[in-house]
Structure 1
Amino acid sequence: MSETPGWSSPDQPQNQPPQYGQQPQYGQPQYGQQPPTGPSIKPGVIPLRPLAVGEIIDGAITTMRRYPKLIIGAAAVVAAVTQILGLLVQLPFLDDLTAVVTLDPNTTTQQEAMNQATDALVGFLSGSLISVVLLLLGTVFLSGFITVIVGHAVLGKPVTFAQAWEEFKPRLLPLLGATLLFGLITTVGLILCIVPGVWLWVMFGLVTPALVLERCGVSAAFGRSRKLVDGAWWRTFGILLLTVVIGAVIGWIVSLPFEAIGLAISGGFSNDPASVLNPAYLIFVTIGAIISSTITLPFSSAVTVLLYVDRRMRSEGMDIELQRAAGHGGI
């Protein structure tokens, strides 16, 4: 079974033999050793040295282009399943919502209107909760799966779906727990005040690659992310924010034509508020969401992994270890 290179942190024991399913260990970085001089070593999608912002973005795009069947294919399947199931969950409640939107105040008492609105809202929120759970599960799988692929792509190593899944499978449940904890922490921070929420979002933004590649526990992954971001919060914030903006723009450009077609078919341009609850409109919106998610989710996941690699190369000398793993300088 092919394995990604050893991503163990400097704090992990180096003399223990790897257990089954673990990545081989290459030892603690040699901080006094300098990388080979001359042209940058680039066996994979990035040069094995501290990266510029443009190189991180380009590396993410290159990874998607180099492994299209694995990354785009997996993203398309996950997006289609989660979005279609989410739509099917919402459809039974559309009639109730439409009835509430189109209520005639001249023939309906205030109490009747309140009761209808409450019933429709409860049903819609229940369906929305199921949709959010499906989206969460799909996002967790995709982010972890892509993390493994990017780990191979950094060294230009070939990887199959079976190999990537075999490496990621033991990390699925821990990653789900870490994702839920991350969402809870950042949500509480945002509720208390926007600034703490954003600070926590950036400080723990590298939890996924730390947990998957280093094969550590949930609490250790949060500690690793904090340690790697510490001292480079603003740079990390800028790259993550840029990734969000790029993803939002791409998603908007891709989904806009489908929304326009859906509005045209459902009569949305006639200012009818019930048109956005028309199944035709929602179907086209779902198609747009599937296509945009197929592009934006892998892109943001790949950027996060490469940002993690960059932080390790800058703060822990990981570039030397990666060069050794790539066959430059020996192990």
Structure 2
Amino acid sequence: MSETPGWSSPDQQPNQPNQPQQPPQPSPGYYAPPPPGAQPTIKPGVIPLRPLAVGEIVDGAITTMRRYPKLIIGAAAVVAAITQILGLLVQLPFLSDLSSVVAQDPNTLTQEQLVEQLTNTLTGFIGGTLISVVLVVIGTVFLSGFITVIVGHAVLGKPVTFAQAWEEFKPRLLPLLGATLLSTLVIMVGLLLCIVPGIWLWILFALVTPALVLERCGVGAAFGRSKALVNGAWWRTFGVLLLTAVIGWVISWIISLPFGLMGAASTGFSDDPGAALSAGSLVLSTIGGIIASTITLPFTAAVTVLVYVDRRMRSEGMDIELQRAAGHGGL
């Protein structure tokens, strides 16, 4: 199985079976960032191999999507379609019941009957929503890890096929799912205690996915690597990821708006609450969600990987390793 080269952590020997023996590792000082202007900028792939500006991170994510459209957009479209459609199918029966309850005249029911119907319907609806959330999480985990592998090749300017990316990512799928569930739990606890600790933990562990997939380390080590890379640059990392979230929200809103309007038009812009739960309106909303997710999910995942790359180049001199992996070791 081939692996994306050049991504081992400073204290980790690269795992390259059936390869010629590598020369001895340089002294620890090798990982200090080179002085600015010490060598010309090298750009074998979607980003220059030097510490990145915020605009270069965003541009690198967009360039990656444009350079590998079949892999990234195709995978994102399939994942978004499966998760959104399955979620809709799970929720449709409960939404139909909820619509019927909302449409009833409360004057024809006793208060106990109305409360009982609402409780039963909402219980089923919440259960369906939880199933939908689980499907979305699994789909997002797969997509983020798969795109991480592609971005790893894109940074080095290396071609990659679906089969190759899948072979590299497949052994990391279950550890990544476990790491995602663990980080989600930790962040939720932080949010319950207070919003600020939750946000702090979100940024602190934002780089777990690229660390786990590209460095091929364990779950605990990936959390440690994310923490080490974010330390000293929490606010910058927060700013980049917040900007990414805002861009993704704007794109999603722009794409979903016409489908929401078409759904409202299909019900005659009715003020009836049950009209918003009609099958036609929900189907249109699902189509808009699929299109929006196809663009925003890979963009967010690619930005996260490039933030990880930037942090490693700034704190560990990873640009030298990447230049060598890209075939510019003589520079």
Q: What TM-score comes out, normalization by structure 1 length?
A: 0.94
Residues 1:309 and 2:309 are matched in the alignment: yes
Counterpart position of 2:251: 250
Checking the alignment, whether the CA contact within 8 Å between 1:89 and 1:131 is kept in structure 2 is: yes
Change (3 A) 1:33 1:316: closer
Change (3 A) 1:33 1:46: closer
Residues 1:162 and 2:176 are matched in the alignment: no
Counterpart position of 1:184: 185
For residues 151 and 135 of structure 1, the distance between their equivalents in structure 2, rounded to whole angstroms, comes to 24
Counterpart position of 2:119: 118
Checking the alignment, whether the CA contact within 8 Å between 2:34 and 2:317 is kept in structure 1 is: no
Change (3 A) 1:52 1:33: closer
Deviation at 1:130, TM superposition (A): 1.1
Q: Deviations over 1:39-68 (max 9, x none)?
A: 410000000000000000000000000000
Quick check: 89-98 or 167-176, which moved more? Answer: 89-98
Residues 1:233 and 2:246 are matched in the alignment: no
Checking the alignment, whether the CA contact within 8 Å between 2:33 and 2:315 is kept in structure 1 is: no
Counterpart position of 1:44: 45
Deviation at 1:31, TM superposition (A): 3.3
Deviation at 1:238, TM superposition (A): 0.2
Deviation at 1:17, TM superposition (A): 6.0
Matches within 5 A, 1:142-291: 142-267=143-268, 269-291=269-291
Counterpart position of 1:128: 129
For residues 130 and 37 of structure 1, the distance between their equivalents in structure 2, rounded to whole angstroms, comes to 54
For residues 2 and 217 of structure 2, the distance between their equivalents in structure 1, rounded to whole angstroms, comes to 20
SS of 1:106's equivalent?
A: helix
SS of 2:11's equivalent?
A: coil
Change (3 A) 1:10 1:300: same
Change (3 A) 1:26 1:117: farther
SS of 1:157's equivalent?
A: coil
Change (3 A) 1:45 1:183: same
Segments of structure 1 that go 5 or more residues without pairing to the other structure are none
Counterpart position of 1:70: 71
For residues 121 and 17 of structure 1, the distance between their equivalents in structure 2, rounded to whole angstroms, comes to 51
Deviation at 1:205, TM superposition (A): 0.4
The one-letter code matched in structure 2 to 1:146 is I
Deviation at 1:33, TM superposition (A): 8.1
Deviation at 1:6, TM superposition (A): 2.5
Checking the alignment, whether the CA contact within 8 Å between 1:26 and 1:321 is kept in structure 2 is: no
The one-letter code matched in structure 2 to 1:76 is A
Q: Deviations over 1:256-292 (max 9, x none)?
A: 000110111023x221111111000000000000000
Q: Deviations over 1:115-174 (max 9, x none)?
A: 100110111111111111111110000000000000000011000000000000000000
The one-letter code matched in structure 2 to 1:182 is S
Checking the alignment, whether the CA contact within 8 Å between 1:8 and 1:25 is kept in structure 2 is: no
For residues 279 and 270 of structure 1, the distance between their equivalents in structure 2, rounded to whole angstroms, comes to 15
Change (3 A) 1:237 1:255: same
Residues 1:10 and 2:10 are matched in the alignment: yes
Q: What TM-score comes out, normalization by structure 2 length?
A: 0.94
Give aligned-pair identity as a percent.
74
For residues 18 and 307 of structure 1, the distance between their equivalents in structure 2, rounded to whole angstroms, comes to 25
Deviation at 1:102, TM superposition (A): 1.7
Q: How many residues align?
A: 326
